[in-house]
């Protein structure tokens, strides 16, 4: 990847195969490094799994594995036919033993896969964390989870860009990816901790961003131009 290209993960949040093909086609761009990201909705869909088996480009499988270590290992083993899978997400809440086990296992499945540890979901805030039972605030929990992810040997962290600035102070070279990205003026929808692409990549110095609805709703090519303009402001 060229150093001057921003890393953009486009969230293909649909179960419609034709829509996914459109998203991939219309987000091709020479000014950005764009990689499609597939979550549970597409992965669980009728044609999704087969499509990912045959896809010819790198992709991110965002399935947020979290289970007892043996079950998590079995999940990784079942993905060995997805040759172009470049990234897989696992939940930090699964614990250090699970994270370490997955990191070891992935080497025998596909050495090109990078394991990204997911911290607190960007749909949650301090109020919702208290409702779940957490006593610390978002910043403290994300920092603790990141320490766990780094200790496990995983390749990077997924967190809100609002916590990324805090993490970057401690981990200068950590691979940090941030979801919860919206172009200026767009609806937050179900996200609580959101920032613009410019604030995430330029101000908070994250490694890459995940952007879905701001790109895939409406005219995708025009939205790509809006994204580039925001990054260049």
Q: Please give the full DSSP string across 137-166, using - where no structure is assigned.
A: -HHHHHHHHHHHHHHHT-SEEE--HHHHHH
In whole angstroms, give the CA distance from residue 230 to residue 96.
38
Q: How far apart are CA 75 and CA 52, in angstroms?
A: 16
Task: Please give the CATH topology (third level) of the domain spanning 6-231.
Answer: TIM Barrel (3.20.20)
Residue closest to 9 by CA, chosen among 182, 211, 224 = 211
Task: Record the tokens describing residue 70, joined without a space.
Answer: 């043996």
- Is 188 a residue of the active site? no
The answer to whether 13 touches 36, Cβ cutoff 8 Å, is no
Question: Whole-angstrom Cα distance, residue 174 to residue 156?
Answer: 6
10-55 pLDDT tens trace:
999 999 999 999 999 999 999 999 999 999 999 999 999 999 999 9
pLDDT of the residue at 2: 46
Catalytic residue among 64, 103, 105, 107: 64
Domain ranges of the chain: 6-231
pLDDT surpasses 70 at 191: no
Nearest to 154 by CA among 107, 197, 192, 196: 107
**Which residue in this structure is represented by tokens 């001057």?**
4
pLDDT at site 162: 84
pLDDT at residue 185, as a whole number: 78
Show Cβ contacts of residue 36 under 8 Å, excluding neighbours closer than 6 positions: 9, 10, 12, 20, 23, 24, 27, 57, 59, 60
Radius of gyration of the chain from its Cα atoms, rounded to whole angstroms: 17
Note the pLDDT tens digit of each residue in 77-99. 999 999 999 999 999 999 999 99
Instruction: Indicate the helix (H) or strand (E) that contains 59.
Output: strand 59-65
């Amino acid at each position: 990847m060229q150093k001057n290209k921003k890393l953009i993960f486009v969230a293909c949040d649909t179960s419609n195969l034709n829509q996914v093909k459109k998203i991939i086609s219309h987000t091709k761009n020479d000014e950005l490094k764009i990689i499609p990201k597939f979550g549970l909705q597409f992965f669980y869909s009728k044609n999704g799994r087969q499509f990912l088996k045959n896809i010819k480009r790198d992709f991110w499988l965002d399935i947020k594995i979290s289970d007892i270590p043996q079950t998590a290992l079995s999940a990784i083993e079942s993905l060995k036919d997805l040759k172009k899978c470049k990234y897989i997400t696992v939940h930090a809440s699964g614990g250090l033993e699970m994270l370490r086990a997955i990191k070891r296992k992935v080497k025998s499945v596909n050495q090109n896969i990078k394991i990204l540890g997911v911290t607190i979901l960007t749909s949650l805030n301090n109020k919702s964390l208290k409702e779940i039972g957490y006593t610390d605030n978002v910043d403290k929990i994300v920092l603790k989870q990141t320490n766990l992810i780094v200790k496990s040997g995983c390749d990077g962290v997924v967190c809100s860009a609002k916590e990324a600035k805090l993490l970057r102070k401690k981990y200068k070279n950590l691979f940090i990816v941030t979801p919860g990205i919206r172009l200026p003026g767009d609806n937050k929808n179900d996200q609580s901790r959101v920032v613009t692409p410019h604030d995430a990549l330029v101000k908070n110095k994250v490694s890459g961003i995940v952007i879905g609805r701001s790109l895939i709703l409406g005219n995708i090519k025009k939205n790509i131009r809006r994204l580039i303009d925001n990054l260049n402001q």
